[in-house]
Structure 1
Amino acid sequence: MRIAVIGASGRMGKNLIIAAHEAEGVSLGAAIVKAGSSLVGADAGEIAGIGKLGVVAVASLADCVADFDVLIDFTTPALTLENAAFCAQHNKAIVVGTTGLNDDEKAALTSFSEQAPVVFAPNMSIGVNLTLKLLATAAEILGDDYDVEIVEAHHRHKVDSPSGTALRMGEVVADALGRDLKECAVYGREGQTGARTQKEIGFETIRAGDVVGEHSVWFATEGERIEIVHKASSRMTFAKGAVRAANWLSGKPAAMYDMQDVLNLK
């Protein structure tokens, strides 16, 4: 599988270039940077700091359409939908790690998966996706007797809150408990809020410094508390997962997939 990385000059893009270069069974086919960037024409490996790879950065997907089989996209919701439409039109697979998509944008992404295979997950980390499996099991066993609170922390530059991963954790727990997260979620508390209700799922958000990503889910009742925690210390964790997803897509039919499919956790 030949991988294209969009946003190649960003923090995540550089890690994706390295991960694609180092992984078995895939190769870096294309790297896309912003139109007008001084890095157009630069070697992707030099952009990522690993030396020349022989892949020259271009300014658009149209400039490299013949050079890749699957696109990895960690950009913004609007740009991701543009890229997904391009991939669907040109029969290219896409791996989407973009967060902050609303319900309409998720529906649009799903519509593109009718034409080309899509892996969409708010977190590409292998560990996080194993954590989701553990959360479902814990919620099923513990039931309504345990209060659920989700605490997440990220770097100061993250623009969406709560994180897509925290929301997905909430969805997994709510589904296991037979609840609708839209009805039971509580986002932060301030003032005289009164006692928590039995079935609410609380979210607390921290934005500070250079925190890559930390998530903690509490299951608490009278006499004990269980915490399931995941901490990421490097963006390479997400990059490796995304490259693994890209490789997994080889030969897959057009459909919407997630990392639980990739890791055979369903």
Structure 2
Amino acid sequence: MNNSPLRLLIHGASGRMGQALLRLAAERDDLQVVAAITRRSPAQRVVEGVPHFAASELSGAPAFDVAIDFSLPEGFDPILALCLERKAGLVSGTTGISETQRQALIQAAASIPLVWASNFSLGVAVLDELVERAATALAGWDCDIVESHHIHKQDAPSGTALTLGAAAQKGGAQPHYASLRAGDIVGEHLVQFTGMGERIELTHRATNRDIFARGALFAAVQLNGRAAGSYRVRDLLSA
């Protein structure tokens, strides 16, 4: 039995999610961040024991088991290529990727285990499954998805709302969307199924952004050692 810590590479380490990942991983004995990758040259090469590299130095990163990527679309191709080269797993929450990049993910799944998700909350992963089950069982009911976020979020509907909508469509429903932007709301998603004389509401509320980083770390641990393939967060919950 291998009791060595899981070796992580954090890609997009200077961003809000990257910083949360570094902080939360440091609190765990089963994880070791072997490289933190930032867009620009780091001011310090080693920060709290973690080696830092610029994106241009990615190919020189030490050996790792799984990469966690929360970067930008222009940084996505290099980290995917490195994971393929190293035969390492990939956990990515980078949004805004192109159709070409999505196809590259599909092709990469034949060689490495990977998960891409718009939301790494474990609660949202469960909600996704519940939405599909409800849509399957409630044929002909109206389906509405209402999502609320802080005033600075620009995309609407949110990526999570669209993912939940895809789950509803898989179950046979045709979702309608509404988006609210107010205050500092971290994220709320309501999926409502309405029939004649009754209504079901499935809701998830995020109150702390750390849940997304914790979910990504969970996914990395669960992904390690799995067969090549494309996994959803909900697939990893039953491990």
**Shared fold by TM > 0.5?**
yes
Matches of 2:46 and 2:29, distance apart in 1: 24
Structure number with higher strand proportion: 2
* Structure 1 stretches lacking a partner, 5+ long: 44-51, 180-199
**Residue type at the aligned position of 1:70:** V
AA aligned opposite 2:118: P
What SS does the aligned partner of 1:216 have? strand
Q: Alpha carbons of 1:82 and 1:207: their partners in 2 closer, same or farther (altered >3 Å)?
A: farther
2:50 maps to 55
Alignment of 1:251 with 2:222, yes or no, is no
The SS at the match of 2:217 is helix
Rounded to whole Å, the distance in 1 between the matches of 2:60 and 2:187 is 32
Distance in 1, Cα, partners of 2:183 & 2:63 = 37
Partner Cα distance (2:219, 2:150) in 1: 25
2:126 aligned residue: 130
- Structure 2 partner of 1:41: 45
Structure 2 residue 19 is the aligned partner of structure 1 residue 11: no
1:2 to 7, 14, 27: 7
Among 99, 107, 110, the residue aligned to 1:111: 107
TM-score under structure 1 length normalisation: 0.80
Contact 2:132/2:168 (8 A) holds in 1: yes
Calculate the aligned-residue CA RMSD, in Å.
2.1
SS at 1:86 equivalent: helix
Offset at residue 202 of structure 1 (A): 0.7
Corresponding residue number in structure 2 for 1:95: 91
Percent sequence identity over matched residues? 39
Alignment of 1:69-80 (within 5 A): 69-80=65-76
Name the counterpart of 1:224: 198
What secondary structure sits across from 2:162 in the alignment? Answer: helix
Amino acid paired to 1:249: L
The TM-score, its normalising length taken from structure 2, stands at 0.88
Deviation digits for residues 176-212 of structure 1 (CA, Å, limit 9, x no counterpart): 11x6xxxxxxxxxxxxxxxxxxxx4211122344322
Query: What is the CA distance between 1:113 and its match in structure 2?
Result: 2.1
What secondary structure sits across from 1:215 in the alignment?
A: strand
Structure 2 unmatched ranges of 5 or more: 1-5
CA contact (8 A) 1:154 1:210 kept: yes
Q: Hey, what does 1:26 align to over in structure 2?
A: 31
- Contact 2:15–2:71 (CA under 8 A) maintained in structure 1: no
User: 1:42 offset after TM fit, Å?
Assistant: 5.0
Q: Does the Cα contact within 8 Å between 1:156 and 1:208 map onto a contact in 2?
A: yes
How many residues end up aligned between the 2 structures?
Answer: 233
Q: Which amino acid aligns with 1:245?
A: A
Tell me how far apart the structure 1 counterparts of residues 176 and 50 of structure 2 sit (CA, whole Å): 46
1:106 is aligned with what amino acid? R
Q: CA deviation at 1:135?
A: 1.1
Partner residue in 1 for 2:157: 162
Counterpart Cα distance in 2 of 1:124 and 1:208: 22
Report the secondary structure of 2:34's partner residue: strand
Note the C-alpha offset of 1:24. 4.6
Show the counterpart of 1:187. none
Q: Deviations over 1:154-195 (max 9, x none)?
A: 234434332221111111111111x6xxxxxxxxxxxxxxxx
Q: What is the deviation of 1:129?
A: 0.5
Looking at structure 2, the residues matched to 57 and 159 of structure 1 have their Cα atoms a distance apart, in angstroms, of: 31
Cα drift, residue 82 of structure 1: 2.9
How far apart are residue 40 of structure 1 and its match? 4.3
CA distance in 1, matches of 2:60, 2:50: 10
For the pair 1:84 / 2:89, whether they are aligned, the reply is no
Cα distance change of structure 1 residues 109 and 230 upon mapping to structure 2, 3 Å threshold: same
